[in-house]
Amino acid sequence: MASAISLAIILMSQTKKPVAGKSGSGPGKGGGSAASIARGKVVYESTCLPCHQVDGLGVPNMNPPLSKTKWVLGEKAKLAQIVLNGLPGGQIDIDGDTFHNPMPAQASVLSDQQIADVLTYVRNNFGNKASAVTAAEVKVVRGKVVK
Amino acid sequence: MNQQIKKMTFLSHKALHLAMGLCMMALFAYAGDSKKGTERETGSGPVTGAAPGKDTSIKMPSGFSANIVVEGLGRARHIVVAPNGVIFVKLARVKDGKGIYRLQDTNGDGKPDQVTGFGNFGGTGIAIKNGYLYASSDEDVYRYKLDDNYNVTNSDNPEKIVTGLINRHQHETKSIALDNDGNIYVNIGAYSNACQVQDRTKGSPGRMPCPILDSAGGIWEFKADKPGQTYGTGVHYATGLRNVVGLDWNMTTNTLFVMQHGRDQLHDLFPDLYDTKQSAELPAECMYELHKGSNCGWPYIYYDEFQKKKILAPEFGGDGKKTGGEDAQDPVVAFPGHLAPNGLLFYTGSQFPEKYKNGAFVAFHGSWNRAPEPQKGYFVAFVPFSNGKPSGEWEVFADNFAGGPEKAAAGRPSYRPCGLAQGPDGSLYVTDDTKGTVWKITYSK
């Protein structure tokens, strides 16, 4: 058992695509585990904050807010897809406001677990309250060919 | 323990700042009550309902005062004032179906009583030259015929002077300026941060040569009176400019001056080479004087105002120290990084004191790319000029559009200065594109 766990850890560190860890990110009811949220905060601060800002409210006309929008609170697969593959500028529309900076693809930068953590963090911060995202859910999206 | 002490010191500083802030706010509130209250209650403006009024929150040198001409105009970008005092404002997004507003004060009370809108397109650029009003969308440049009273005579069918300019959603606005020889200059911003293979993506290399420069990342010159021009019929006037929003034709030098928005994200993209503090400060926001054929170096270099050198961009093999761009121009003035210069105006009036004559005002929209460091900007700067060259250091001229240091630091300002214009009496007009405010700044001894 212990060796299986260490094998899993080795695999995680090598591939950066960990298998869905039941240990850290159980899908809570409108929450997500505290551990996942805490890890997600670290990912947010190093990767997302420069554009989406400390308060998650983005920059007018440039970088969209992450607070109570349909993009963040909506379909998880679609949200994970945006993080994995990025999005050209101008495609996000929130109440008639458009945002012109592109979202850079994170597929080669963040692991499934990191994406799950940061999305869980975002969905439970900045005034949001929504279900957790798991690494397994991210993995499914990563495996798909995205048009 | 140490940490605890640090924390306590930090907290007490914070408490002190907060207390100071509250005192200041109380002072401002008092000053505001004594003046704004009465002057702003003078009735409903046609657009907003609360103009005009003296705005004591804007901090300026002694003798200057700012009056709010109009509020709630929408995303007010660039502005121009006609010789008879009529104001035209270009909106980034149409408001009530109108992208340009004409404001006229017929009874001289400082408040526009005739407000008309036209032009069903959003955009940034607006200018008046030789009996025409020019305005830009994010793809085209239009012109409208003006009568002797600066009424637009063909508001529904302007001439399309320039068409088909690239708009790929980043740096998409098309600022305009006209010279005295029948030419119009149009900025076409680069649809990229630093011309990486994958834009704004960590580890993605620079594209060499940068293919964006063939149709963007520069200034194009067109004839001011010829409809239907586009890339093939224009002159590729200057290159290596990432994005220009503020620009002005300098009547003293008879040349075009521009303010470049410098590149973003040195730390995000190259964390091994730049820490967050360096990334917040670098590169400088630069003013350039252009001539036909000018090259300002983007994306291969950026200007470091501390080393006072053109530094090779990390996407192209730079390490923060290696210099580059031997064929690229040096800036005329270098401002702190990421402040977003959106308006440039050379002051030719006589109302302001002598030191302002022929100098440059620059409206800084304010930063976002300094996070997690405090954000900065949200002011109008001034650079004195003599014989067409800067004759002194730049200084903050009109400050506190943010509405307090905490709002500035958080990047959540009350207002963002954008456009600048000079009135026939030598007053300076400033727009804000968050709430659609227009200020008129005047001087009296």
The whole-angstrom separation of Cα B117 and Cα B76 is 13
Q: How far is A65 from chain B (nearest CA, A)?
A: 13
Q: What is the largest CA-CA distance in chain B?
A: 76
The CA-to-CA distance between both ends of chain B, in Å, stands at 57
Q: Enumerate the residues of chain A whose CB falls inside 8 A of the CB of residue B195.
A: none
How many contacts (CB atoms, under 8 Å) link A and B? 59
Residue A93 reports pLDDT greater than 80: yes
Q: What is the pLDDT of residue B20?
A: 41
Residue B169 confidence (pLDDT): 87
Please report residues of A whose CB lies closer than 8 A to that of B92. Answer: 61
A132: nearest Cα among A19, A53, A39, A49: A39
Model confidence at B203, pLDDT cuts 50, 70, 90, reads confident
Could you report the per-residue pLDDT of B143-170, keeping only the tens digit for each? 999 999 999 999 999 999 999 999 998 9
Q: Across the interface, which of B199, B368, B369 has its CB nearest the CB of A104?
A: B199
Distance of residue B169 Cα from the nearest chain A Cα, in angstroms: 5
Statement: residue B18 has pLDDT above 50: no
Contacts of A109 in chain B (CB under 8 A): 201-203
Residue B344 reports pLDDT greater than 50: yes
State yes or no: pLDDT of B48 exceeds 60: no
Cβ of A102 within 8 Å of Cβ of B411? The answer is no
Nearest Cβ partner for B200 among A54, A98, A104: A104
Determine, for residues A54 and B92 on separate chains, whether the beta-carbon distance falls below 8 Å.
no
What residue in A sits closest to B373 (Cα-Cα)?
A50
Q: Which residues of A touch B201 (CB under 8 A)?
A: 86, 104-105, 109
pLDDT attached to residue A23: 40
This model of the complex carries an ipTM of: 0.80
Average pLDDT over residues B20-29: 38
| Amino acid B445: pLDDT | 84
* Best B96, B166, B169 residue to mutate vs chain A (most A CBs within 10 Å): B169
According to the model, what pLDDT value does residue A15 have?
Answer: 40
Are A134 and A42 a contacting pair, CB within 8 Å? no
Going by pLDDT thresholds of 50, 70 and 90, the confidence category of residue A97 is confident
Percent of chain B with pLDDT over 90: 86
What is the C-alpha to C-alpha distance for residues B221 and B255, in angstroms, rounded to an integer? 13
What pLDDT digit, counting tens, does each position of A19-69 carry?
Answer: 333 343 344 445 568 999 999 999 999 999 999 999 999 999 999 999 999
Q: pLDDT of B54-95, one tens digit each?
A: 999 999 999 999 999 999 999 999 999 999 999 999 999 999
pLDDT-derived band at B362, boundaries 50, 70, 90: very high
Cβ contacts of B412 on chain A, cutoff 8 Å? 55, 57
Residue B187, SS3?
strand
Integer CA distances (angstroms), B104 to A8, B148, B437, in order: 72, 14, 15
pLDDT reported for residue B310 = 98
Q: State the pLDDT at residue A146.
A: 52
CA B201 to chain centre: 27
Cβ distance of A104 and B410 shorter than 8 Å: no
Q: Which long-range contacts (CB under 8 A, 24 or more apart) does B46-51 make?
A: B46/B112, B46/B113, B46/B114, B46/B115, B47/B71, B47/B72, B47/B73, B47/B101, B47/B103, B47/B112, B47/B115, B47/B436, B48/B72, B48/B73, B48/B436, B51/B111, B51/B112
Identify the pLDDT of residue A13. 40
Q: Peptide bond preceding A65: is omega within 30 degrees of 0, i.e. cis?
A: no
Confidence of residue B254 (pLDDT cuts 50, 70, 90): very high
**Partner residue facing B371 (CB), from A50, A89, A90:** A50
Contact B84, B149 (CB under 8 A): yes
pLDDT tens across B297-309, in order? 999 999 999 999 9
Interchain contact, B412 vs A86, CB within 8 Å = no
Q: CA–CA separation, B307 vs A44, rounded Å?
A: 32
Average pLDDT of every residue of chain B: 90
pLDDT at B399: 98
Quick check: helix, strand or coil at residue B333?
Answer: strand
Chain B residue closest in CA terms to A86: B201
Q: Check A104 against B267: CB less than 8 A apart.
A: no
What is the reported pLDDT for A145? 55
Q: What distance in Å separates residue A28's CA from the closest CA in chain B?
A: 30
Tokens 């456009």, located at residue: B419
